[in-house]
Every structure is written in structure tokens, then in C-alpha cells.
Amino acid sequence: MSGSFPEGFRYLPEYFSRAQQQILIEHVSIAAKAAPFFRGKMPRTGTPLSTLGSNFGPLGWVAAQSGYRYCKTHPKTGKSWPNMPEELLNLWQEVSDWLDPPQACLINWYREGAKLGLHVDADEEAADAPVVSVSLGDQALYRLGGPARKDPTRSFKLSSGDVCILGGASRRCFHGIDRIYPGTSTLVPKGGRINLTLRVVRGVL
């Protein structure tokens, strides 16, 4: 592993204790009853994503064949997303330098074989607000590059309880999940990895 992290990237390993991780997973399990995990699709091609998704908060990120967008309601149930847990609002206050609270928390569930190709998050109007991510459950191999797809990348493992903050220039860097390591954690009842990403989507009108 070599090279340096992009400006604005912070990695806080083991930020959450096991007991705190269990509380977060309990929030995810309760949310998934009201807002079931669904499989998103790639825009245009309609290829199914290998992850399953749901959301907390007033806005939720939805991947549909017609495009990626933020929606106030679940695509299947038509209901609002479950409230953002207080623990996640507290995390945002503790680690981000952003005054506005996050409007969206994408819940991404990676089961055995799931991955996320190299991409840049660009669906938020609030393009300068940081993204805060929480890893729960199985370990994952994370790849972080630069602002251009051809830029060199560095890889490292993310473990349950780790937090990443993508602020500054790192917000516009390519990143992805190459693989998960099944069975490396017992936190998630049905197995796999849960990633929570907190985002400010747009200015309040």
C-alpha cells in the first residue's frame, strides 16, 4: 500500500464500539421492515446492481433504469423513508464540519459476491458537502483513486465500526468496493456488509 490519501479524506477505524454497532444494525433491521431492501438498476441498461438498498431520512437515493435520483418515498411501498436515527445525526455533528444535517442515508447491503464499481458520487446538488460513511458487518476491500478515472488508486480493508469522511477534494474522487470477505463478522443477522452513507442532497428551499 503506497501513496497518500486525497485532501479532505479521513479514515477513523473502529469509531463505533461493538455495542454501538449493534444499535445501528437494530435501526437498520427495523427500517427494513417498513422500507424493504430493493435491488436498484443501472441507468439505461437496467442491469441489476449487486447490492440491495434502502434509506433513512427525508430523501432516499434510488437507482432506476430511468436514472439515479433522490426520492421522498420508497419505490415499492410509496411511503416516506424511516427517520434518520439520532445516532447518525450525532455522528454527522461529531465528524463533519457541515452545519446542515444530512438529508439522506443510503443503506447498502452487500451479500457474498456483491461489489460496487469505481465511480464518483455526483447526484447531489450540494456537491461540496462531505459524505460520511459507516461500515458494519463483514470486511470489504475499498479502493480510492483520484478525480480522474485513470488516476492511481490505493486499496485498503474497511471493517465493522469504521467511519470514512469524504470532504474537500476527496468528495470528487473515484472510489468503489472490489469485494467483501464473507463470514468475517457476526454483526449482520443474515450476513454480509451494511454500508451507511450520510449525504446533504440540496439546499433547503
Name the minimum Å distance from CB 108 to ligand MD3.
5
Report 92-131 residues binding ligand MD3 (CB under 6 A): 106, 108, 116, 121, 131
Residue 195 contact, options Fe ion, ligand MD3, none, Cβ 5-8 Å cut-off depending on partner type? ligand MD3
Among 52, 88, 104, 166, binds ligand MD3 (CB under 6 A): 166
64 forms beta bridges with: 67
Instruction: Using the minimum distance from each CB to Fe ion, give the nearer residue, 121 or 124.
Output: 121
Distance CA 150, CA 85 (A): 38
Contact flag: residue 170 with ligand MD3 (CB under 6 A): yes
Instruction: Using the minimum distance from each CB to ligand MD3, give the nearer residue, 54 or 78.
Output: 54
Instruction: Using the minimum distance from each CB to ligand MD3, give the nearer residue, 41 or 171.
Output: 171
Report 113-142 residues binding Fe ion (CB under 5 A): 121
Length of the chain: 205
Distance CA 114, CA 31 (A): 21
Contact flag: residue 63 with ligand MD3 (CB under 6 A): no
Residues 102, 34, 112: CA angle, nearest 5 degrees: 80
Distance CA 115, CA 181 (A): 11
Shortest-Cβ-distance residue relative to ligand MD3? 195
Q: Which residues bind ligand MD3 (CB under 6 A)?
A: 106, 108, 116, 121, 131, 133, 164, 166, 170-171, 173, 175, 177, 195, 197
Q: Which residues bind Fe ion (CB under 5 A)?
A: 121
